[in-house]
Amino acid sequence: MFTPILIASFISSINAAAIISRSQSYPLSQRSALGPQTKLTIGNKVIAPDGFERSATLVNGEYPGPLIAAQKGDNFAIEVANELTDSSMFTSTSVHWHGIYQNGTSYADGTASVTQCPIAQNQSYLHSFSAQNQAGTFWYHSHYSCDGLRGPLVIYDPEDPLAYMYDVDDASTVITLSDWYHAEATVLRYIIGNVADSTLVNGLGRYAGGPMSDLAVINVEQGKRYRLRLVSMSCDPNFQFSIDGHNMTVIEADGQLTEPLQVDQLQIYAGQRYSVVLVADQPTDNYWVRNLPNTANASFVGGTNSAILRYTGAPLTEPTTVNTTSTNPLVETNLHALTNPAAPGIPEYGAADINLNLQVSAVDGNFYVNNVSFAAPTVPVLLQILSGAQDATQLMPNDSVIILEANKVVELTLSTTGLGGPHPVHLHGSAGNSSLNYVNPVRRDVVSAGSLGQQMVIRWVTDNSGPWFLHCHIDWHLDVGFAVVMAESPSETRANMQQAPDAWDQLCPTFNALAPSQLGGTGLDLYEAAANMSTNLYPPPAPLPSSA
């Protein structure tokens, strides 16, 4: 099993969903969940999750998308059907199953330009894969845009060794955290430095100066213990999450169980997940759930960046609890893997079989990894490999594909310069941690690389042949070059991969036959809309056809 270990982050040098109700009315029924064999219909619909109406890209007409729930050992067969029609946004799509290793099924990873071509309008593709021995909290999303296509995925373990700590763990305790924008991503991608209009919890929130729109309500019964599965579906900001008057015990990070650790606040980056046990041991009342983004002037005024924890029997009113300063925030280095905690290889920095160094820089809003800005290839990297390309000189994009030998311990040091941090870095097919700790690091698949002048160290074993995307999980940074591809043993990929379905082979011919006008999201009016919002713009791509 492909299990990278993230050894360090935030070091400046190399030393070391809940039941939702309207806030003023009665609770809705528990969120429905789809099974591991299901269909996701991707379409457009006008919604107003924070009181502002806009067209969005949704799954089955919902935001967030429906929970996909499975049991450990289940096989997945998920059909993704593209019924997009709104040409102001991209009308092709793909869906990535974040945190699933895809060992032997890299063609099902769902990453456009790396493991497949996008799914064209009026087409569908069946993703068939096994999560093998994985269990925990995951999610699904598109790398194609930030207009709403994202939702939670949970694999339940009937033999969870920490099950004794909680009473309730179901669809009602999955909590999604996200940012939300009033303009389409196809407009915002031209602006250098975007700021979200609001923060949503389980798809509801308020924006500064906006109406008193509905807030999400997490309903609890006094005396019960709840496993809250927090999923950051953020396109950009990280969040400081807390619940007034309550502690939380962390027991999972990114699909990996941890030794229980009590905190009163935790920072969660884009793409990360935590399971926390909440004990409903306070007086019957309403309590503010706080989810503060790391954006300028963010506050809780008017119920922004907030949701409600409501005890059974409490009045249907908004909380009056007071925000207090955290005294026991999560320190990530205090998290430790519950089982098999040691990092692979010799427990010394620089003593892996393969030691890599990547330098990330930012110039005029664009990102460069070792002086190269990632540009999506016209042919997916996996298809290039299956067509005979074997080394870095043969693989596109040039200088953005790193070849790794099979069955080696790899240690990657990634350093950042320039603005835009902290950067949450995700390696597809991975799990990892954060501190120079080779004895018992927490394993996770998204780790902060920090900000200007900081570093992280990632260690993993190359036992999953195929091309795996390593990128910043801030969507705007990925869009302008913050990515590379780690191609593990390309010469062995075909032998170690199950036969790709015929439908996978047809994705590229179908997509490549589309005219530019059929792709959506490229009209001159979108660039003009960006210019009306900001003067700090990227240059328009050429040619830029009119959508008229």
**Of 19, 47, 90, 98, which is the active-site residue?**
98
Residue 336 designated active-site = no
Residue 127 designated active-site = no
Return the H-helix or E-strand segment holding 385.
helix 381-386
**Of 68, 218, 374, 426, which is the active-site residue?**
426
- Residue 302 sits at φ, ψ, to 5 deg, of 70, 20
CB under 8 Å to 416, separation ≥6 — which residues? 360, 361, 423, 449, 450, 451, 452, 453, 454, 455
Residue 423 designated active-site = yes
**Of 143, 241, 469, 511, which is the active-site residue?**
143
**Of 191, 423, 458, 469, which is the active-site residue?**
423
Give the integer Cα–Cα distance in Å for 298 and 282. Answer: 28
- Cα dihedral angle (534, 539, 543, 547), rounded to 10 degrees? -10
Give the integer Cα–Cα distance in Å for 269 and 540. Answer: 30
**Of 7, 127, 141, 243, which is the active-site residue?**
141
Task: Look up residue 284 and give its two tokens.
Answer: 């019957």
- CA-angle at 65, arms to 311 and 210, nearest 5°: 65
CB atoms within 10 A of CB 297: 7
Residue 182 designated active-site = no
Residue 511 designated active-site = no
Task: Look up residue 347 and give its two tokens.
Answer: 């427990």
- What single letter denotes the amino acid at residue 364? D
Residue 472 designated active-site = yes
Task: Look up residue 422 and give its two tokens.
Answer: 């902290």
Nearest in space to 177 (alpha carbons), one of 38, 102, 108, 276: 276
Nearest in space to 308 (alpha carbons), one of 285, 325, 335: 285
CB under 8 Å to 48, separation ≥6 — which residues? 54, 213
**Of 2, 76, 96, 146, which is the active-site residue?**
96
Q: 3-class SS at 55?
A: strand
Residue 402 designated active-site = no
Distance of CA 341 to the CA centre of its chain: 24
Residue 473 designated active-site = yes
**Of 5, 42, 235, 472, which is the active-site residue?**
472
Q: 3-class SS at 452?
A: coil
Give the integer Cα–Cα distance in Å for 59 and 71. Answer: 22
- What single letter denotes the amino acid at residue 231? V
Residue 246 designated active-site = no
**Of 428, 458, 469, 511, which is the active-site residue?**
428
**Of 90, 129, 469, 482, which is the active-site residue?**
482
396 near 444, Cβ under 8 Å? no
Strand partners, 258: 337
Tallying the residues shown for the chain, one arrives at 548
Question: String of b and e for 518-532 (b: at least 16 CB within 10 Å)?
Answer: ebbbbbeebbebbee
**Of 20, 119, 127, 477, which is the active-site residue?**
477
Residue 146 designated active-site = no
Give the integer Cα–Cα distance in Å for 30 and 27. Answer: 9
- What single letter denotes the amino acid at residue 156? Y
Catalytic positions are 96, 98, 141, 143, 423, 426, 428, 471-474, 477, 482
